[in-house]
Chains A and B, each alone.
Chain A
Amino acid sequence: MFKTYMQTHMSDEELARAVQQGTDDAFTILFQRYEQKMLRYGQRFLYSYEDLEDAVQEVFIKTYRNIKSFDTDKKFSTWIYRIAHNTFINVIKKNGREPVSFFDFDTFISLPVRTEDTLEGLLDTKESTEKIVDRMKQLSPKYREVLILFYLEELGYKEIADVLSIPISTVGVRIARAKAQLKKIVSPK
């Protein structure tokens, strides 16, 4: 009965507070709310499904372990995406298939850039979203991730900045550059 109430009436942050106070059922609901999102985010970010399953499992383990460090006045989604980002980056670094730079000059100084709202709109092509997402694999992780978070996970600039721990203006710069690179990949001419 209480579980049904939690499922329908409680926000992520309220559930997180309940977990902090020892209600493990609240974590089950958070798990159910975020498992597909995490898998989707991970699937688009990581190539190997074996990696993905382990990584997503790791995300939820870290979430549970560190839930008492979560400030319930802030957004839970940003917090869990941040955990996921760190976990996925570690997987990429461990696999060593793609380069992940330690220092990014974009974060040093950057200028605001405006961008389109939809993935199809940004490319002006007839390709489906899934096909475009598939092409994204050719982008470097830092550009691929920012496109996933903005266009597919529909996070705002501020939220992406919090997930990636980068300046808000850098989010705009990265989206613009990622978009330009993706355009080249989709229509090489």
Chain B
Amino acid sequence: MDEHTQKIQAKVLTAIKRGEIVMRPRWHFVLKTVLATLGFIILFLVLIYLMSLIMFGLRETGILFAPGFGWYGMIVFLKSLPWILIILIGVFLIVLELLVQKYSFAYRRPLLYSAGIMVVIILGTAWMLARTPLHVVMMHRMEMRPLPVMHNLYREIREPVWNNAEVGKIIFFTNKGFDMKNPRQEVIIVSIHPGTRIIAREALQVGDRVIVVGKKIGSTIEALGVRQIPEMK
């Protein structure tokens, strides 16, 4: 082994003396740390924003209330979730966790702890952000001055298209139920039958915003459930 160690030592030390191996300057590592920290902060903020957008969207569209109508409502809800955004958030979370795992405060504890703490912080901050007027303002701004990706994200919240659910404002009551206008300004005929579950604080009135879950055929929907959407404060 001695012969080998001398060989290794000679090779490395000679290469250093000849200047073939040089030390990386300190700024190289400082820059790397700054870029990693910046990447972490940007990713963290993007995650909070996307998460709050999902939370805002679920509430604003009213689809959040669909699971209240049992299994059918739950399936409608799951199908309506913005899966691309959710997958994107998952990928960003993995990248964020990989960035954090380089530091001893993160890797010395089980992954579940650091990931869990991060998820809790993101969810909490996103929940608070979703309750601010930020997304309402952004939604209106995107209507006036659309930005490429953002415009589509907010349009899906403003004018959601679902298979077996509709959201809109009641325009008048009929013998079978009521007619409502959805955000795309289409008139939807809502048919109510004895089994329809209606959830409202008071009796439904013209002008109320509601979500209707049920089988949709053309512009008619056989309501399984109707729920009044409370106005956002």
Contacts and interface: CB of A to CB of B under 8 A. Distances in A.
Contacts, number: 81
Nearest to A166: B107
B12 A31 contact: yes
For the complex, would chain B's binding face be called helix, strand, loop or mixed by DSSP majority?
A: helix
B29 A69 contact: yes
B201 interface: no
B16 A24 contact: yes
B219 to A, nearest CB: 50
Interface stretch (B2-10, B183-191, B207-215, B223-231): B2-10
A165 B106 CA distance: 9
A109 B111 contact: yes
Contacts of A53: 4, 7-8
B117 interface: no
Given A65-B21, A169-B110, A39 B4 contact: yes
Given A24-B17, A57-B11, A69-B24, A36 B108 contact: no
A44 to B, nearest CB: 13
Interface in B94-140: 101-102, 104, 107-112
Which of B9, B11, B110 counts the most chain A CB atoms within 10 A?
A: B110
A35 interface: yes
A87 interface: no
Contacts of B15: 61
Contacts of B104: 162
Most B CB contacts (10 A, CB to CB) among A53, A57, A161, A167 go to: A167
A68 B13 contact: no
B23 A35 contact: no
Nearest to A69: B29
A48 B8 CA distance: 16
A175 interface: no
Contacts of B107: 107, 161, 165-167
Interface of A: 19-20, 24, 27-28, 31-32, 35-36, 39, 49, 53, 56-57, 60-61, 64-69, 107-110, 158, 161-162, 165-170
Given A165-B107, A167-B111, 13 more contacts: A31-B12, A35-B9, A39-B4, A53-B8, A56-B8, A61-B15, A65-B24, A66-B29, A68-B25, A108-B112, A162-B108, A167-B107, A168-B109
22 contacts: A20-B23, A35-B5, A36-B5, A39-B1, A53-B8, A57-B8, A57-B11, A57-B12, A60-B8, A64-B23, A65-B21, A68-B25, A68-B29, A69-B24, A107-B107, A107-B110, A108-B111, A109-B111, A162-B104, A165-B101, A165-B102, A170-B110
